[in-house]
Amino acid sequence: MSSARIVGPGRAGLSLSSALQRRGWRVEVIGRGTPLEDAALGTDVLAIATPDGAIADVAAAVRPVESTVVLHLSGSSGLDVLHPHPRRAALHPLVPLPNPIVGAERLTSGVTFAVAGDPVASEMALALGGRVVSVADEDRVAYHAAACIAANHVVALLAQVERVAASVNLDLEAFLPLARAAVEDVGRLGPAAALTGPAARGDWNTLDRHLDALDEHERDGYSAGVALALRLTAAADDEEVVAIR
Task: State the architecture of 141-244 in CATH terms.
Answer: Orthogonal Bundle (1.10)
Over residues 2-55, the pLDDT tens digits come to 999 999 999 999 999 999 999 999 999 999 889 999 999 999 999 999 999 999
Instruction: Give the start-to-end residue ranges of the domains of the chain.
Output: 3-135, 141-244
Number of Cβ within 10 Å of residue 215's Cβ equals 10
Residue 32: its pLDDT value, please? 87
Distance CA(189)–CA(126), nearest Å, equals 28
- This prediction has a pTM of 0.88
Q: How many residues does the chain have?
A: 245
ω into 198 cis (within 30 of 0): no
Residue 238: its pLDDT value, please? 57
Over residues 171-207, the pLDDT tens digits come to 999 999 999 999 999 999 999 999 999 999 999 999 9
> Among 84, 40, 37, 75, which Cα is nearest to 28's?
40
pLDDT band at 237 (very low <50, low <70, confident <90, very high): low
> Among 81, 8, 89, 13, which Cα is nearest to 45's?
89
Task: State the architecture of 3-135 in CATH terms.
Answer: 3-Layer(aba) Sandwich (3.40)
Residue 1: its pLDDT value, please? 62
Helix axes 154-166, 219-244, angle to 10 degrees: 120
